Amino acid sequence: DVKVTQSSRYLVKRTGEKVFLECVQDMDHENMFWYRQDPGLGLRLIYFSYDVKMKEKGDIPEGYSVSREKKERFSLILESASTNQTSMYLCASSLSPRDRVAEQYFGPGTRLTVT
């Protein structure tokens, strides 16, 4: 079974803090993704990575950065947290070449509240 784990289920941070969200997958997947999920808006892609040290912006990258130093780990960084970044953050991974999409396996999510 594919397993995608995220470092925290719930996180509360103050405005202006730097926040690190960690994601680890154990199936040697090339692709990893970070989404945020908000009511009525669905999942929106923040960043994704097709390989180690490779990253590409998704639809809403502003205010976020990512790091992929090892294949199994993909980190999302909020440089200076703001209240509008309060959301559910979901990490996903998939095994696919670039020209084909395969099933995405999601982690359990991190509910981040910025006060």
Closest to other proteins by CB, 17 or 50:
50
Strands of 64-70's sheet, edge to edge?
Answer: 4-6, 19-25, 73-78, 64-70
Asked if 89 touches other proteins (CB under 8 A), the answer is no
Looking at 12, 27, 52, 101, which residue binds other proteins (CB under 8 A)? 101
* Secondary structure (3-state) at 55: coil
Asked if 51 touches other proteins (CB under 8 A), the answer is no
Nearest to 23 by CA among 77, 61, 72: 72
With contact defined as beta carbons under 8 Å apart, do 113 and 86 qualify?
yes
Looking at 42, 62, 69, 84, which residue binds other proteins (CB under 8 A)? 42
Asked if 108 touches other proteins (CB under 8 A), the answer is yes
Q: What is the Cα–Cα distance from 12 to 34, expressed in whole angstroms?
A: 19
Q: Which of these segments, 22-30, 41-49, 67-75, 78-86, binds other proteins (CB under 8 A)?
A: 41-49
Residues that bind other proteins (CB under 8 A): 35, 40-45, 48, 50, 56, 90, 98-101, 103-104, 106-109
